[in-house]
Structure 1
Amino acid sequence: MGINYYNDRVCLNVLGGSLENARDIYEAAEHHVEVGVLTADYPDVPSAVEDMKKYMDVLEGNLSVGLGGGNPNQWRAVAEVAKEVKANHFNQAFCAVSATRANVGNDECHINAMVGPSGIPGMVKVSTGPLSKDAKAPALVPADTLIMIVKEMGGNSLKFFPMGGLKVKDELQAVAEACARQDFILEPTGGIDLENFKEIMGIILGAGVQKVIPHVYSSIIDKATGQTRIEDVKTLLAMVKELV
């Protein structure tokens, strides 16, 4: 079973605070969601694999294997999990997309490539790995060329992170236009909340991007429980239905 896009265009990505929370999210989103579980939350790969297999059952495969706050130091953990857990969705640093595709052993599982804003519309930062993220001279690549490289690496989408909500509107517009030209999936991530969700999605869909996986994380998590608020998931789905 592949990613279940609403109206073949939008699939939500939110974090599951527990197995029960994940199950509730899945139902509230009417299955149009990939529920994130972070490798950073586990002491080692075997414990992550054991727990994630439980999520796979509850979510019918609609698990999003995450890094953890976009931490590229988790790239190896995600790639190792891919050997055992054939989740629908994997989050990965740009540098490790090919390793993850090789480890997952199929062409069906979705793997994104985490790339970042550069400060220059049309150019995207690809130096998002454990070492390169701190490079004095970041590696910037034209968005269209970047998408071709990610395709060659076996990736399915650009995870554009961190956006800071609407702080990089011009860059988001340029990346979205490139994804539309290249028929590529875009995953906007970072600072998205119930207030700016529609505007961000409007920019992307308006640019002609055919498939979008918006990540809405901390803004809809109950700070006291660590669980994603189910009512907020329902609100997001309602907005998606209005948009597409």
Structure 2
Amino acid sequence: MNPWVRLDTAAVPGGSDQLRLMQRGDEFSIMLGTNELMNSRLSGSEEALAQLAAGRLAGRPHPRILIGGLGMGFTLRAALAAFGADASIVVAELVPEVIAWAKGPLAPVFGTCLSDPRVSIIAGDVGSLIARAPGYDAILLDVDNGPEGVSRAENDRLYDARGLKASRAALTPGGILAVWSSGPSPSFTRRMQAAGFLTEEVRTRARSGGRGARHIIWLGEKARV
């Protein structure tokens, strides 16, 4: 078996560990310490994040979508396919090196999605965009490992009561907040409900085709009136 090769490292603002971009043959991995945050062969649940949100917004014209976290582009590619030709998609990525990896060694994974005219990539904190740019039809958060994150303490502010209320305020009536997580969090479900979202918790598999570890996606709908 081919050994893993480290291609690059990146500091996480406010975090203590570095991200490591690893490659083994045609497989890529992004690691944080001993935790694998993402793998090029495990895209199913990240794709489901976009697909589930799009299903609840079916028929909405000119949807505006905000994605928190670029990663390996799985959610972005699925959003491009699911939301259609009239969508506008903004992706906020905190770590500039991750954007550089997408255009460099990970280009075979990303394909042509970064050059799609519907897409804007912003190097910055998705929380800042949520606070200053309301009017999104969907906010898709694939940041850290979810509400029980591991990379930086500041990410918790996306998932606490104040952060959830900010997301709700940034959504249009009937808009969807979709949150990816590597595992369950009953307390987060309660926080979403307390923030005023009609909340559904969906279990999905890490691999496409219903295989691999079980991940969680929360779907929170903002009231239409």
Structure 2 length-normalised TM: 0.37
Q: Specify which structure has the higher proportion of strand.
A: 2
TM-score (norm 1): 0.35
Higher helix share: 1
